[in-house]
Chain A
């Protein structure tokens, strides 16, 4: 049974970390969605150069660890004269990393709409933007939402990487409390419960969305 005085005594510190984890996740969520969408558009673009940039970004980032991406910002940037805090490096690294997965999910969604529909829409006189807006995207969204919600769940879990770079998130403060009190087991159980408060509802929502969208077809 966890010793709850470890929780009550350090409550404000846990909450500070919990808050920072949420803030970092939300920033990275918005950032990676925007960046991921841009990269996805690059990847389906007919302009060779953009296509190449999009593919290179996705294939490279997806195949290296998140930790390494954050390392580049945390240790690489200072060597060229730019020093950012662990929180900023962690959040930016998380954004770039997650964007590569989101770009693939969005691309797969758009590609899943048969080409014939795009051709038909353009044959009836719709512009490219109109075709996207009224024909392709509404259908793609249904396919994209389940993988996206899974990516956001991963993002919240991955935000714990901030702890490695003194990013003042839940993992970081949990680790601090554990080494200060020596009550390692209890502290990590509390940190685990706090993460579950965030991830379990997200994961339930992801499952619900997946089932609902599978039914409507």
Chain B
């Protein structure tokens, strides 16, 4: 039976090693891009002179480029200017920059959605700008950001697969190697990989839906 050969213990272990790498890179990038995105989004929202416009241009550039290009860039172009990163770090840097830019926009529009009257009320009751931001705008804004943030995290997890082009040992890369052993492995292995991605992402989206109903 081909399916039994395809799912031999060695192959299964190899696929799960890839899956572990996918989850690891995704988790690190989620945390980093969330931090980067929150900072960049908040700075853009506050309209600081010089810094906010520069960040705005950076965010727009990154958002409008294919992630694949950013991954290639981090791995193969940065060494040209003296920045050498390993495969894993290139993937994490590229994902953090791209998804961080996406999250910056989510954060900015979340903050913008808070009624201006609330800010005026807070300011006139004596709160400083930073206090208003921290106690009034951010808590409410973050709550509205949860659904788009979670879908962005799901995108990020799916996007880790693009690091296959720099031979990061993640799920798709390992799947490709196993498929290379025999044509007959292709469909069972691709199905297994699809199920793995699906399970994680579907669980994430279910959790998001539950969180959404609880927060609203």
A59 touches B202 (CB 8 A): yes
1/0 per residue, CB under 8 A from A, across B70-104: the answer is 00110011111100000000000000000000000
**A67 adjacent to chain B (CB < 8 Å):** yes
| Shortest distance between the CB of B70 and any CB in chain A (Å) | 9
A158 to B164, CA, bound (A): 15
**A27 adjacent to chain B (CB < 8 Å):** no
Closest to B68 in A: A160
**A188 adjacent to chain B (CB < 8 Å):** yes
1/0 per residue, CB under 8 A from B, across A125-164: the answer is 0000000000000000000000000000100011111011
| Shortest distance between the CB of A82 and any CB in chain B (Å) | 12
A111 to B42, CA, bound (A): 33
Chain A interfacial residues counted at CB < 8 A? 39
A157 touches B194 (CB 8 A): no
Selected from B65, B79, B172, B183, the residue in CB contact (under 8 A) with A195 is: B65
Q: Provide the residues of chain B in CB contact with A175, threshold 8 Å.
A: 72
1/0 per residue, CB under 8 A from B, across A175-217: the answer is 1001000001100110110011001100100000000000000
**A72 adjacent to chain B (CB < 8 Å):** yes
**A19 adjacent to chain B (CB < 8 Å):** no
Q: Provide the residues of chain A in CB contact with B198, threshold 8 Å.
A: 60, 63-64
Q: Which of A10-18, A31-39, A44-52, A73-81 lies at the interface?
A: A73-81
B172 touches A158 (CB 8 A): no
**B207 adjacent to chain A (CB < 8 Å):** no
Instruction: Name the prevailing secondary structure of the B interface residues.
Output: helix
**B137 adjacent to chain A (CB < 8 Å):** no
B77 touches A65 (CB 8 A): no
Q: Provide the residues of chain A in CB contact with B193, threshold 8 Å.
A: 68
A195 touches B66 (CB 8 A): yes
**A71 adjacent to chain B (CB < 8 Å):** yes
Q: Provide the residues of chain A in CB contact with B73, threshold 8 Å.
A: 188, 192
How many A-B pairs with Cβ below 8 Å?
Answer: 113
A189 to B61, CA, bound (A): 12
Q: Which of B30-38, B114-122, B124-132, B155-163 lies at the interface?
A: B155-163
Known: A65-B159, A196-B61. Is A158-B72 also a contact (CB below 8 A)?
A: no
Selected from A59, A62, A161, the residue in CB contact (under 8 A) with B68 is: A161
Q: Provide the residues of chain B in CB contact with A99, threshold 8 Å.
A: none
A164 touches B68 (CB 8 A): yes
Selected from B165, B172, B187, the residue in CB contact (under 8 A) with A65 is: B172
B190 touches A76 (CB 8 A): yes
Q: Can you list 11 pairs linking A and B with CB atoms under 8 Å apart?
A: A59-B202, A63-B201, A65-B161, A65-B162, A66-B161, A75-B186, A75-B190, A76-B186, A157-B66, A159-B66, A185-B80
Nearest first, the 5 closest Cβ-Cβ pairs linking A and B are A160-B66, A63-B201, A185-B80, A65-B161, A65-B158
